[in-house]
Structure 1
């Protein structure tokens, strides 16, 4: 007689799920690729939710494979993956994922497993996974239900998309432009935590489906508006131009209307910690760092802050003057600029503190110690380098905070 566990799954089911972990490690990405292909064939309307650029790059398949693997490995102790569940649920909330989406995902995930694994996915394996998926899905549904309720209970809060109006458009560099938003209905709208993001809905003429993109809010909360700062992604090295970023740069102007979601995300500034705060960014990754910087100087004015930004050159360096003004007006803020390829003007004007990259020797020379709270954001190679640098200095995971919308293994692996 099978015994039940606190997940509601019998031991035989758990044993089967755990036994499939090595198979998932080997075939997980292939399974999820087939899953997305089959699901979009059966439900093309879901292309309006999932980022098709990430689909082409394979990022979404890798992320889903990692989540499935983690759930399988911890099926008898799902509480250990609750932080991951909450992180993914924040993304789901920003995309307005609903309970009715989960049975669709489950159906095509099981079909993909059967297609890829063949005879290895017999009736016992598929049956076990069907039961396990039901448990895992219920954890996500309940978590997201709580998040949606919290937002609707907030003054000015909403679920789904709400129209906001562009009230200001500012060119920050050759490639980055800031957009300032207020609600089109002029009704109240909620605050947020420094580091969170919103999802924008771009309905672009000639495009077969809606495009959803996440952009970090780039200013401190409670300024009377939301602000995002968007890098225009140009076509380069056989990579096509960014559909949404170019749409925003070229089409959105003062008075334009854009549907957005309420703020989401768990990459947020810890204001209960009074140790030194180190904010490191690469390229457009400075957007959540700016929100954190503007927030900490207002709410923790005595806290030591080290703001370190890496860019290719001064031409693409956004918000330099804003950071300089904050640094000049606060004795507790130190800021540093690193250019990979400084221009002759950068060199002549001493626009940067270091040429090249952020390395351990230099970082050690500007920080008083590594007993600090670190936040960083930027392109994947930058993120990987910062993570490895900090781990090499024995900085604990609880003090390493980063924002990355792809699979974490590409940063920490």
Structure 2
């Protein structure tokens, strides 16, 4: 169980809200630059979301700001945390990945805010980050276990083959998937999606999410 945040750290994080409102976008952009310098971490992200006016960057900047604003009322962030957990599990995010993010985030705060990022500010944000990270890690561990223990479930990556392709329209195709091991496949819940781990000979490793179009494991590209 995550240790409660100290009152001092809560106060310092709350005091950084104006700085985040003014510089949150720059902090997130710098954080991603640092993260994506590692090829293994880079493969976790859709690179089309890293260009120009990125909606992914904006979403993370808003999430960080929301965390700072609600540091004394984390219940207000429950739905956001649930979405993050689902996304992380789909991409097979592991506890060790959180160290990379911590290093990139704190380094970005220091680089963008300069002297305003005092040791006290960095320590408070480090404590706040790991408090939230540990909550996410625990929730993700439970979800991994629940999926593995469900009928037809599995843990980690599982190999599937494309058993058929159906043209839905001029621009959309559905792919019928079958597990290589021939075992059963758990039934999906409404709104769930799949994550795929690709190793393309030209573009290298990448992970992408796709919508499930029916229980027979036809999938549609996630066009969001």
TM-score (norm 2): 0.93
Residue 155 of structure 1 aligns to a residue whose secondary structure is: coil
1-structure distance, mates of 2:3, 2:22? 26
Aligned partners of 1:126 and 1:227: how far apart in 2? 47
User: Residue 112 in 1 paired to residue 103 in 2?
Assistant: no
1:228 to 210, 219, 222: 219
Is residue 30 of structure 1 aligned with residue 21 of structure 2?
no
Alpha-carbon distance between aligned partners in 2 of 1:50 and 1:229, rounded to the nearest angstrom: 19
Distance, in Å, in 1 between the alignment partners of 2:6 and 2:135 is: 17
> How far apart are 1:193 and its partner, in Å?
1.2
Identify which of structures 1 and 2 has the higher relative contact order when contacts are C-alpha pairs closer than 8 Å and 6+ apart: 2
1:179-198 → structure 2 map (5 Å cutoff): 179-198=175-194
- RMSD over equivalenced CA pairs, Å: 1.7
Matches within 5 A, 1:17-166: 17-41=13-37, 43-57=38-52, 58-166=54-162
Contact between 2:159 and 2:179, CA under 8 Å: does it hold in 1? yes
Distance in structure 2 (CA, Å) of the matches to 1:141 and 1:230: 28
Q: Is the 8 A contact 1:71 1:136 kept in 2?
A: no
Q: Secondary structure at the match of 1:130?
A: helix
Distance in 2 (CA, whole Å) between partners of 1:230 and 1:130 is: 37
Residue 198 of structure 1 aligns to a residue whose secondary structure is strand
Deviations along 1:287-335, whole A, 9 cap, x unmatched? Answer: xxxxxxxxxxxxxxxxxxxxxxxxxxxxxxxxxxxxxxxxxxxxxxxxx
User: SS at the partner of 1:186?
Assistant: coil
Is the CA contact (8 Å cut-off) linking 2:160 and 2:179 kept in structure 1?
yes
Q: What is the TM-score normalised by the length of structure 1?
A: 0.52
SS in 2 for 1:29: helix
Other structure's SS at 1:145 match? helix
Contact 2:49 2:55 in 1 (8 A): yes
Local SS of the residue matching 1:9: coil
Structure 2 residue 211 is matched with structure 1 residue 211: no
In structure 2, the gaps of 5 or more residues are: none
CA distance in 2, matches of 1:16, 1:22: 12
In the TM superposition, residue 84 of structure 1 has moved relative to its aligned partner by 0.8
Is the CA contact 1:7–1:76 (under 8 Å) kept in the aligned structure 2? Answer: no
Q: Aligned residues, how many?
A: 222
| Structure number having the greater helix percentage | 2
